[in-house]
Amino acid sequence: MSEYTIYHNPRCSKSRQTLELLQKNGVEPKIVEYLKNPPSEKELTQVLKLLAIKPQDLMRKKEAEYKESGLNDDTLSAKEQIKRMIENPKVIERPVVFTKTKAAIGRPPENVLDIL
């Protein structure tokens, strides 16, 4: 099993480019299509910790689901934001590549080279 995992959306060009870049560098990551299989609260919390960012920084704020789910409410706790992100995985930025000790957002795809 691969040490690397990618939260992947095959319909997203940046996600496809990031996966291709990983493979060109000899990495065959575990692919998690997070829209079909959202991360657990524990997993998403760990990824945020590895990225050293707040939940808001991993959200796609232009998605309709962002406002529809109330994620634009500044009074939500981090725990509540994470819960809503899992319920509405389309708002999670993609792609995210991570191991047990490091993570990167593949925007641009070359960002993931820092963790290889």
pLDDT at 47: 98
pLDDT at 7: 98
Contact 102, 115 (CB under 8 A): yes
pLDDT at 114: 96
pLDDT at 2: 79
What is the total count of domains within the chain? 1
Q: Which of 12, 27, 51, 115 is catalytic?
A: 12
Q: Which residues contact 30 (CB under 8 A, 6 or more apart)?
A: 1, 2, 4, 5, 6
> Is 65 among the catalytic positions?
no
Q: What residues make up the domain containing 95?
A: 5-115
This prediction's pTM: 0.95
- Write the DSSP assignment of 22-33 as a string of letters: HHHTT--PEEEE
- CA 104 → CA 3, 51, 74, 75, 77, distances in Å? 14, 6, 25, 27, 23
pLDDT at 88: 97
Where the chain has pLDDT below 70, the residues are: 1
pLDDT at 1: 62
The CATH number of the domain holding residue 99 is: 3.40.30.10
